[in-house]
């Protein structure tokens, strides 16, 4: 019988017991269970060591256990760039103090410190792959692109390769090549470099779309190369479009123009918004493209999600009906929300052995980590008292390096005993305020203001986030090499000319500096809801 049941003896009576009541309740599977199963599969040869390592490194459990490992303290200004060499044992950084430092990040020791030769803040420094860490390229606020060669012994030699008219924010090295890299600048110029000849080729100047010829040029802030196809690179700046180019279309004899993109990327609902700009770009190992918008969100485009190369057809999309534009994801485009990107030029990055996560800094001093697959915000870390601009993942292990307005670099590892949870009120996202790009070429006033706001962090009452015990870990570490005497440091103090964007609130006609103060004091502005201090209290 289907409904038959057995009897059990209780207090001298036989009581029916249903079969369902005897079944043990199945508990939910945890990440620990998955890890145990993976270990068993590896031991029985059903899971390769490499796949086991990748699955473990991609575990969300590790992401929830990230904590501050140490601080690297040697710079005397904002740290605007951090990146690893291909092996991952050396971290290179550049700062407003115009120095380049090569770190043994694991011990916290300085391997090498040298003056870059720049006259202003360093915006990016990269170790060229395949160079045995002896070839470093840099770009800076002075517009210069420089090459540093590290000899076996003696003084580091730096050479000026080219110069942009205005700030040069980013450079991108061709994967696997010790010779080829690209730069972009606020003059809209994209340049191609070959270190074998030491010369620069001016590829093109980025022009606005056809109906905005009054703009002149697009001030470029970011450039990235597709790791799967190094012939493809993307650029972005002071409008809503990311442009993709194929270097194979360039005629090296200059016989034809190269300025037309092969593809455009932009969420459809943002097309036509002339107040937008882009601060960061990144490719994943799967050729997905992450785009970080100023005062907006981060978007990730998969291959084939471009809008095509027909500008007129693209602009027609901005005339579509509201019902056609209401889907913010625009046909499979993923959107990542919660951070604030308005004050500075922030990057964006992928993280994980197969780029399972998206990471970004924020104006509130936090690091944000999203699950790439479903755009879920899974982790928020208190990284700085001020703005976090750079988050760089280690090329091989679960480790992150972060930097920003503060003068140190922070190393993060998944070593916490307890898993973290999101702050209670993290869902109260900053309300967007539309800012448009301020002309860069005469921006002394906003540089001075920014310096007054952020460079006072060296005062005696300033405290760093994280463990105070780590603050002076590196003070006693001697440099293996240093081609400058310490006495020269006083002569090379910061010009206090900073690397920020200038933004102007388009609804205000008064002095821009007064308007900026509202933005920097947004923690107490009712428009943004609860203060940042309240957010931090909740997290603790």
3-state secondary structure at position 50 = helix
Residue numbers in the chain where pLDDT is lower than 50: 1-2, 19-21, 27, 321-330, 427-540
Rg of the chain over all Cα atoms, to the nearest angstrom: 26
Q: How far apart are CA 248 and CA 117, in angstroms?
A: 33
Residue pair 375/335 in contact by the 8 Å Cβ criterion: yes
Taking the whole predicted model, whether its pTM rises above 0.85 is answered as no
3-state secondary structure at position 103 = strand
Query: CA angle, 36 as apex, 31 and 37 as ends, to 5°?
Result: 95
Per-residue pLDDT tens digits for 330-350: 458 999 999 999 999 999 999
Query: What are the residue ranges spanned by the domains of the chain?
Result: 31-61, 64-437
Residues 6+ away with beta carbon under 8 Å from 356: 58, 371, 372, 373
Burial class (CB in 10 A: 0-12, 13-18, 19+), 41: middle
- The pLDDT value given to residue 517: 33
Topology of the domain comprising 64-437: Methylamine Dehydrogenase; Chain H (2.130.10)
> Mapped to the 3 state alphabet, what secondary structure does 382-433 carry?
ECCCCCEEEEEECCCCCCEEEEECCCEEEEEECCCCCCCCCCCCCCCCCCCC
Residue pair 263/309 in contact by the 8 Å Cβ criterion: yes
Longest dimension (CA), the chain: 103
Q: How far apart are CA 138 and CA 115, in angstroms?
A: 11
- The pLDDT value given to residue 426: 66
Q: How far is Cα of residue 462 from the mean position of the Cα atoms in its chain?
A: 25
């Amino acid at each position: 019988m289907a409904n038959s049941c057995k009897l059990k003896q209780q207090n001298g009576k036989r009581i029916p017991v249903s079969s369902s009541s005897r079944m043990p309740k199945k508990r939910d599977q945890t990440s620990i269970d998955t890890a145990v199963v993976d270990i068993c599969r590896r031991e029985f040869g059903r899971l390769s060591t490499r796949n086991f390592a990748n699955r473990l490194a991609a575990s969300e459990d590790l992401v929830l256990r990230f904590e501050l490992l140490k601080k690297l303290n040697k710079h005397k200004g904002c740290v605007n760039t951090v990146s690893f060499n291909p092996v991952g044992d050396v971290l290179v950084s550049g700062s407003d103090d115009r120095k380049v430092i090569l770190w043994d990040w694991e011990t916290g020791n300085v391997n090498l410190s040298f003056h870059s030769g720049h006259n202003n803040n360093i915006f990016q420094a990269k170790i060229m792959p395949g160079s045995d860490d002896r070839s470093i390229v840099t770009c800076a606020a002075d517009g210069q692109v420089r090459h540093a060669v590290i000899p076996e012994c003696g003084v580091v030699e730096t050479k000026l390769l080219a110069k942009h008219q205005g700030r040069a924010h980013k450079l991108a090295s061709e994967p696997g090549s010790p010779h080829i890299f690209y730069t972009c600048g606020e003059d809209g110029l994209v340049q191609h470099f070959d270190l074998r000849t030491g010369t620069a080729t001016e590829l093109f100047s980025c022009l606005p779309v056809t109906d905005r010829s009054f703009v002149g040029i697009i001030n470029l802030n970011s450039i990235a190369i597709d790791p799967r196809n190094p012939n493809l690179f993307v650029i972005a700046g002071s409008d809503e479009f990311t442009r993709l180019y194929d270097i194979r279309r360039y005629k090296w004899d200059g016989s034809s123009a190269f300025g037309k993109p092969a593809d455009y990327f932009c969420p459809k609902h943002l097309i036509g918004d002339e107040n937008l700009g882009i601060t960061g770009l990144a490719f994943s190992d799967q050729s997905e493209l992450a785009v970080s918008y100023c005062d907006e969100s981060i978007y990730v485009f998969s291959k084939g999600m471009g809008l095509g190369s027909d500008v007129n057809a693209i602009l027609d999309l901005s005339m579509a009906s509201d019902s056609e534009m209401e889907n913010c994801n625009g046909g499979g485009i993923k959107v990542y929300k919660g951070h604030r990107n308005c004050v500075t030029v922030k990057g964006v990055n992928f993280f994980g052995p197969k780029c399972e996560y998206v990471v970004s800094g924020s104006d509130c001093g936090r690091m944000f980590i999203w699950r790439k697959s479903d755009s879920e915000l899974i982790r928020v870390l208190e990284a700085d008292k001020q703005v976090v601009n750079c988050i760089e993942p280690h090329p091989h292990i679960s480790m992150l390096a972060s930097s920003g307005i503060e003068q140190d670099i922070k190393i993060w590892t998944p070593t916490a005993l307890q898993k973290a949870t999101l702050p209670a009120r993290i869902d109260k996202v900053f309300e967007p305020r539309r800012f448009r790009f301020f002309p860069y070429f005469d921006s002394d006033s906003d540089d001075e203001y920014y310096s007054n706001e952020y460079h006072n962090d060296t005062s005696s009452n300033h405290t760093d986030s994280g463990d105070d015990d780590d603050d002076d870990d590196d003070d006693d570490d001697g440099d293996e090499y240093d081609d400058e005497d310490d006495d020269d440091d006083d002569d090379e103090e910061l010009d206090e000319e900073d690397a920020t964007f200038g933004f102007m609130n388009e609804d205000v006609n008064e002095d821009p500096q007064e308007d900026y103060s509202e933005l920097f004091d947004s923690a107490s502005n009712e428009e943004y809801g609860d203060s940042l201090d309240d957010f931090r209290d909740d997290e603790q």
